[in-house]
């Protein structure tokens, strides 16, 4: 893909009109939408991937707009106050208008941005492969602070009660004051933390690429429990109704008691589970590199249905109003009935979809390996 000239200095915000994103609006009409929110990876700090009060497309989609970065968009979008925020491996964080995809600002970090932004109280928090966690003004992209670690920050931050929680590939989990960027605590784990923490009821839950699962006190960083007999992976945990769910590269999805770390059940797929689980209505949904999306009963661990895509499902599902949305390495985005597993629609992007969908106000936003950010709405 053609490189663009402004890609250079790390830590520089470029306002609307100076973005590296090229915009291609769709043919459908573009009415103003009511403001909904998908403020962070998996929609909420518990990482459930479920937005209770949103609506999404159910009977087919059309492209509302597409914008294109200079490298892959594996980062998952956040949508707040009429703006879509996303990172790219071209080293930039982008803010674009939710309705028409026009650029609002661009911020250059020092390396690729795989981390998904969290947008809370007017600030965008996002990690970079340059080893920093950035806090940016949500309106104009100006740098508020940068927190330096010793390796890439691919984990997506969770922001709760004035604290940013994030993992680093330097093997640490961090709690950082959201206002000042000062470290509150750091906890050394057994491996790189690519996954994104879940924060629920005073506990931070995370996993490493080695074998470790951790539950840490949000205030002190002290361990509540650890579980070290899993295989590694990058699947991020979800916590719902007192249960901790996480995938692993040993083909399994695990359910564990969130308070004690005791295993409850395991479900085995036919390949690695890099996808992060989503939970709603007594069902946990997760993709596998075996090319399937699974719906599993949260109480028993029994499969309710499975949906076959045309390639690995690395993308993490989103659940909105009775529909499960996910991408696949086959280049498609899918809308699937959450109860039956029947396909409602599919949309071909032409490039693997590793990004996880955000669904707000009837529109789905998702990135592709080709560097495109799509907005898809009902036909």
Give the β-pairing of 143-148 and 118-120: unpaired
The third-level CATH classification (topology) of the domain covering 12-28+45-378 is: Methylamine Dehydrogenase; Chain H (2.130.10)
Token reading at 346: 């599919």
Give dist(CA 147, CA 119) in Å, integer. 17
Short-list 318, 316, 296, CA closest to 50: 318
Asked if residues 138 and 98 have their Cβ atoms less than 8 Å apart, the reply is no
Token reading at 52: 């209770």
> 3-class secondary structure for 164-211?
EEEECCCCEEEEEECCCCCEEEEEECCCCCCCCCEEECCEEEEECCCC
Asked if residues 174 and 186 have their Cβ atoms less than 8 Å apart, the reply is yes
End-to-end CA distance of the chain: 30
Asked if residues 232 and 210 have their Cβ atoms less than 8 Å apart, the reply is yes
Per-residue pLDDT for the chain (379 aa), expressed as one digit of tens each?
222 222 233 454 655 444 456 666 543 333 333 348 999 999 999 999 999 999 999 999 999 999 999 999 999 999 999 999 999 999 999 999 999 999 999 999 999 999 999 999 999 999 999 999 999 999 999 999 999 999 999 999 999 999 999 999 999 999 999 999 999 999 999 999 999 999 999 999 999 999 889 999 999 999 999 998 778 889 999 999 999 999 999 999 999 999 999 999 999 999 999 999 999 999 999 999 999 999 999 999 999 999 999 999 999 999 999 999 999 999 999 999 999 999 999 999 999 999 999 999 999 999 999 999 999 999 9
Q: 122: left (phi > 0), else alpha (psi -120 to 50), else beta?
A: left
Give the β-pairing of 332-337 and 323-327: antiparallel
Q: Which helix (H) or strand (E) holds 224?
A: strand 223-227
How many other C-beta atoms lie within 10 A of the C-beta of residue 161? Answer: 10
Short-list 260, 219, 216, 256, CA closest to 239: 256
Q: Which helix (H) or strand (E) holds 119?
A: strand 118-120
Give dist(CA 121, CA 208) in Å, integer. 29
From residue 7, give the alpha-carbon distance in Å to each of 3, 14, 77, 316: 8, 11, 21, 30
Domain boundaries, the chain: 12-28+45-378
Q: Which helix (H) or strand (E) holds 307?
A: strand 303-308
């Amino acid at each position: 893909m053609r490189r663009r000239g402004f890609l250079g200095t790390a830590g520089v915000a470029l306002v609307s009109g100076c973005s590296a994103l090229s915009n291609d609006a769709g043919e459908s009409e573009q009415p103003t939408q009511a403001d909904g929110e998908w403020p962070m990876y998996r929609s909420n700090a518990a990482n459930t991937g479920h937005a209770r009060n949103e609506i999404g497309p159910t009977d087919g989609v059309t492209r509302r707009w597409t914008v294109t970065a200079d490298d892959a968009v594996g980062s998952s979008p956040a949508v707040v106050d009429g703006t879509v925020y996303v990172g790219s491996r071209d080293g930039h964080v982008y803010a674009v208008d939710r309705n028409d995809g026009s650029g609002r600002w661009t911020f250059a970090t020092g390396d690729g941005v795989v981390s998904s932004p969290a947008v809370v109280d007017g600030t965008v928090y996002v990690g970079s492969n340059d080893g920093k966690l950035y806090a940016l003004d949500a309106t104009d992209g100006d740098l508020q602070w940068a927190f330096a670690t010793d390796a890439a920050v691919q984990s997506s931050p969770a922001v709760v009660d004035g604290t940013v929680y994030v993992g680093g590939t330097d093997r640490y989990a961090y709690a950082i004051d959201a206002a000042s960027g000062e470290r509150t605590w750091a906890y050394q784990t057994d491996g790189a933390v690519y996954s994104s923490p879940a924060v629920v009821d005073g506990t931070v839950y995370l996993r490493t690429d080695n074998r470790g699962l951790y539950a840490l006190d949000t205030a002190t960083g002290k361990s509540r429990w650890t579980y070290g007999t899993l295989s590694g992976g990058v699947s991020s945990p979800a916590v719902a109704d007192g249960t901790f769910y996480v995938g692993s590269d040993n083909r399994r999805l695990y359910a564990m008691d969130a308070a004690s770390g005791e295993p409850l059940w395991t479900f085995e797929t036919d390949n690695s589970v890099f996808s992060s689980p989503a939970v709603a209505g007594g069902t946990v949904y997760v993709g596998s590199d075996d090319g399937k999306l699974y719906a599993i009963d949260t109480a028993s661990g029994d499969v309710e249905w499975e949906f076959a895509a045309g390639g690995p499902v690395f993308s993490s599902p989103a659940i909105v109003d009775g529909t499960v949305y996910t991408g696949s390495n086959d280049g498609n985005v899918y809308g699937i009935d959450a109860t039956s597993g029947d396909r409602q629609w599919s949309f071909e992007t032409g490039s693997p979809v590793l990004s996880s969908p955000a669904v707000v106000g009837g529109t789905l936003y998702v990135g592709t390996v080709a560097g495109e950010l799509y907005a898809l709405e009902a036909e």
